[in-house]
Structure 1
């Protein structure tokens, strides 16, 4: 899918420790393109009313001064942003939902595999922490619109091992911008589809905590 079809936004300023960003003027046309209907998918997605998303959490291309390699990902957990590095001090910024305190990943990882409309099974830790909520799903949930991993998932690995943390879509768009997950990085389904098409398996990921 082309960048023209999916689109991106330009928006508001942000200052980040060791990195800085600066954005330009918002485009209504780009906003509609970014969050319009996606019909040519296994489970077609209706358009998302982007005006219900806080402007700073909408997908947008920004100035981003850093030394990170082109194609890598930086997750700014405190500010609820994920950056896809374009190079030349530019990045695409996405609003994300993050893990509750004590549950989030920290440091370096890489994309070990990718999946479209992934299935989901709660981890043993999730079952221990909240057996009432997660117990009914111990045998797994097939991929689809009702799956908590949403439209796409990027599986984060270290040293050849699955960390059990994911960057994934969500069927709870209201959770974007909040810290309420079991540790994974949540994105709007429209945004994770856009990111999924850009990022390569093996891409480096840095998760910044406070």
Structure 2
């Protein structure tokens, strides 16, 4: 079975390519869109505490942030009441910004990205927004998949729980 999406498969799905730092959306209506992303600075990997982006088959477990303004700051999946600004960023330079929307992933492969010390869901691996000052197309995150705020909102609005997500490195 190929990890590449079948262009005739009517189900929506996401493919994240760690080598090329891209996220592809394949919609049920034949819609296809590609965005640049930023995955883990530490590269691919599944272990808890590694700071790596997990590979393999996943699905969308939860969608968080519906209706929140672009740039909404989240901590522990809750809006803080803040909106990201360059000034706020300068005041807190070490903060790992999770902005606008959260697409929380859950692994499907026992012992690879599900269960024990490799559990994507328990590692809090998300697709989420990041400040527009952060580069895309290069790995810099702590394990999550970062997107531009407008891009993650566009993706989020097309998603629903259960959508398959493949994270691959070639």
Shorter-chain TM range is: 0.5 to 0.7
TM-score using structure 1 length: 0.54
In the alignment, what sits opposite 2:158?
198
In the alignment, what sits opposite 2:131?
171
Larger helix proportion of the pair: 1
Larger Rg: 1
Q: Structure 2, unaligned stretches of length 5 or more?
A: 45-51, 66-71, 85-95, 109-113
**How far is the alpha carbon of 1:175 from its aligned partner?**
2.1
Larger RCO (CA under 8 A, 6+ residues apart)? 2
TM-score using structure 2 length: 0.65
Offset from partner CA, 1:51-103 (integer Å, 9 cap, x none): xxxxxxxxxxxxx8656653111001111110110257651111111112241
**What count of residue pairs does the alignment treat as equivalent?**
133
Q: Do 1:167 and 1:185's aligned partners in 2 also have CA atoms closer than 8 Å?
A: yes
> Within 2, Cα distance between the matches of 1:167 and 1:192?
8
**How far is the alpha carbon of 1:209 from its aligned partner?**
1.3
In the alignment, what sits opposite 2:101?
152
Decide which of 181, 186, 203 is 2:141's aligned counterpart. 181
**How far is the alpha carbon of 1:120 from its aligned partner?**
2.2
| Cα RMSD (Å) | 3.1
In the alignment, what sits opposite 1:106?
55
Q: Do 2:3 and 2:166's aligned partners in 1 also have CA atoms closer than 8 Å?
A: no
1:142 aligns with 2:80: yes
